[in-house]
Amino acid sequence: MLTVLVYRSKKLVDFSELDFHDLNNSAQNKNIKNGITGVLLYDGNYFLQILEGDEEQILKLYHLICMDSRHHNFVKIIETQIPLRYFTNLGMTFFDIREKSRDELISEIKKLNNHIKIEPYYNKILRIIYAFFDNIWRDEISYSKELGEWSDIDVYIGESKISSYHDNLDYKFSVQPIINTSNNKISSYEFLLRTGRGGSPYECFSSLNSDEIYNFDIISKKISLEWASRFIEGNVKISINLLPNTLLKIPNTVEILLKYVKDFNLHPGQIIVEITEEEAISQPEKFTNVIKKLHSFGFGIAIDDFGAGFAGLSLITKFQPEKIKIDRVIVSRIHEDGPRQMIVRSVVNLCRALGIEIVAEGVEQAEEWEWLKSVGIELFQGFLFSKPSNNAMLKIRFPPLDISAVTLF
Ligand code: C2E
Ligand code: MN
Ligand code: MN
């Protein structure tokens, strides 16, 4: 299938006019042979390249381009199927956009097309070029490998008690920290359900029938709050997960939770209730009332797995959460993915304006963390920093502190 791929990258070496001449010639021959058309824009620092051709050829070429050591910070902006090529002639046209006004550039780009002015695709290409010209894809993110050493720290947290729900379900909790990398403090601990032998939350729920699940979900919080009360202090928060249906179907969920909180000398203000976005929308009115109740007792609300489901933005207006946790499907390899970068940038803006904290979940790679940090995210959870643990000693890796960064709190 005919495909277009657009990416931007940042130069690593200085390119002279001669280099571009060579680059152009060698690319030209290869591209003609492989049936590739497109354009390469350069602003002295960043490249934006549009590649059109057979899907397989395009992906092969992009793979090779990403291995070229003369540029880095590759961000794929689009990869989509097209009915016709925008660029009429095989090969690649090069533009140094420093020498051009936006209108000059666009009128020259329009000359490279003489057949598809009515296709939606035609204007999409032009709009992306406008966006590049307007600095949208020329962010100033530098990956700071030289910042310094990461430090490994052991924190004593004690251990979860094991409890039994019925004959074939023993359960306990694991804990994973959420850390603030602007000051390397622990922001909160998330309590994750486990079977007595360490199996996943899904394993716990699968041995129960649908009536029991919600009751178990709330009852099990007693064990996590009991553990939390043994080691959590100061401003560090306690994050717990509840199924939306636990809040909807168990009449006194909030009261039960409040009782556990008080029994262990905790305060609702220490607790963040994490709710996934998916199921919550089935009964929005009823659900909003439960959220109101939690808020009125002082519990914090987090929207969990944000970006993985379908309710997304509308939940922010309904729930007025204190926190949003951006799901791993958005976070994973975000440093290379243009659309997800733009989603996160807009979520960061939105949350800043509404006073909502953002946590990036499932961070596994240093580059993901660095990209997310560069757009203003401070709270992180993921294997990169710490894995969920059942051990009394929790291992946390803190990144080097960026002393130039100033934070409010
Ligand atoms: P969640 O609330 O989004 O919790 C984070 C999950 O991501 C955890 O999986 C954790 O082990 C995993 N995780 C953390 N960092 C990374 C990472 O860097 N990479 C990868 N690949 N995974 C990472 P876990 O413990 O299996 O929990 C899965 C889900 O089960 C949770 O997702 C939560 O929605 C649910 N859950 C956990 N405990 C409870 C509970 O007590 N009640 C309810 N209703 N649901 C729970
Ligand atoms: Mn969670
Ligand atoms: Mn999550």
Quick one: average pLDDT of 205-225? 95
C-alpha of residue 294 to centroid of ligand 3, in Å: 20
Quick one: average pLDDT of 358-386? 97
Q: Which atom of ligand 1 is nearest to the CA of 274?
A: 2
Per-residue pLDDT of 122-169, as tens digits, reads 899 999 999 999 999 988 777 766 668 899 999 999 999 999 998 889
C-alpha of residue 353 to centroid of ligand 2, in Å: 24
Structure tokens at 291: 């959220």
C-alpha of residue 127 to centroid of ligand 2, in Å: 38
C-alpha of residue 188 to centroid of ligand 2, in Å: 12
Q: Are 39 and 87 in contact (CB under 8 A)?
A: yes
Structure tokens at 248: 């909807």
Quick one: average pLDDT of 302-325? 84
Best of 192, 215, 325, 365 for a ligand 1 pocket test (most atoms within 8 Å of beta carbon): 192
Nearest CA residue ID for atom 7, ligand 1: 362
**Cα-Cα-Cα-Cα dihedral of 78, 82, 87, 90, to 10°?**
100
* Ligand showing the shortest atom-to-Cα distance for residue 178: 1
Contact residues of ligand 1, CB 6 A cut-off? 176, 192-193, 200-201, 217, 220, 241-243, 274, 276, 304-305, 328, 361-364, 381-383, 388
Half-sphere exposure of residue 82: CA atoms within 13 angstroms, side-chain side: 28
- The answer, yes or no, to whether residue 30 has pLDDT greater than 90, is no
Q: What pLDDT, on the 0 to 100 scale, is given for residue 250?
A: 92
* Ligand showing the shortest atom-to-Cα distance for residue 239: 2
- The answer, yes or no, to whether residue 334 has pLDDT greater than 80, is yes
Q: What pLDDT, on the 0 to 100 scale, is given for residue 255?
A: 97
Nearest CA residue ID for atom 35, ligand 1: 201
Q: What pLDDT, on the 0 to 100 scale, is given for residue 13?
A: 86
Q: What pLDDT, on the 0 to 100 scale, is given for residue 8?
A: 97
Quick one: average pLDDT of 168-196? 97
Q: What pLDDT, on the 0 to 100 scale, is given for residue 408?
A: 52
Quick one: average pLDDT of 278-286? 73
Nearest CA residue ID for atom 25, ligand 1: 192
Quick one: average pLDDT of 206-213? 91
Report how far apart, in Å, the C-alpha atoms of 365 and of each of 262, 336, 380, 399 are. 39, 12, 12, 12
Mean pLDDT of the chain: 92
Q: Which residues pair with 41 in a beta bridge?
A: 48, 95
Per-residue pLDDT of 72-127, as tens digits, reads 999 999 999 999 999 998 999 999 999 899 999 999 999 999 887 778 888 999 99
Best of 174, 193, 212, 257 for a ligand 1 pocket test (most atoms within 8 Å of beta carbon): 193
| Residue of 176 and 276 predicted with greater confidence | 176
Q: What pLDDT, on the 0 to 100 scale, is given for residue 223?
A: 98
The environment of the single-atom ion ligand 3, i.e. residues with CB closer than 5 A, is 304-305, 361
> How many whole angstroms separate alpha carbon 280 and alpha carbon 305?
12
- The answer, yes or no, to whether residue 409 has pLDDT greater than 60, is no
Quick one: average pLDDT of 379-398? 97
Q: What pLDDT, on the 0 to 100 scale, is given for residue 6?
A: 98
Per-residue pLDDT of 233-265, as tens digits, reads 999 999 999 999 999 999 899 999 999 999 999
C-alpha of residue 325 to centroid of ligand 3, in Å: 6
Q: Which residues pair with 192 in a beta bridge?
A: 174
Q: What pLDDT, on the 0 to 100 scale, is given for residue 252?
A: 94
Domains, the chain, ordered by start:
2-138 (3.30.70.100), 151-398 (3.20.20.450)
* Helix 253-263 and helix 284-297, axial crossing angle in degrees, nearest 10: 20
- The answer, yes or no, to whether residue 375 has pLDDT greater than 60, is yes
Q: Which atom of ligand 1 is nearest to the CA of 243?
A: 44
Q: What pLDDT, on the 0 to 100 scale, is given for residue 340?
A: 96
> How many whole angstroms separate alpha carbon 217 and alpha carbon 121?
49
C-alpha of residue 324 to centroid of ligand 3, in Å: 10
> How many whole angstroms separate alpha carbon 162 and alpha carbon 172?
5
| Residue of 369 and 116 predicted with greater confidence | 369
Query: What's phi and psi for 76, nearest 5 deg?
Result: -80, 125
* Helix 210-219 and helix 221-231, axial crossing angle in degrees, nearest 10: 20
* Helix 221-231 and helix 253-263, axial crossing angle in degrees, nearest 10: 30
The environment of the single-atom ion ligand 2, i.e. residues with CB closer than 5 A, is 241, 274, 304
Q: What pLDDT, on the 0 to 100 scale, is given for residue 116?
A: 78
Q: Are 343 and 307 in contact (CB under 8 A)?
A: yes
Structure tokens at 394: 């929790």
Confidence band of 219 (pLDDT split at 50, 70, 90):
very high
Quick one: average pLDDT of 293-320? 86
Q: What pLDDT, on the 0 to 100 scale, is given for residue 210?
A: 85
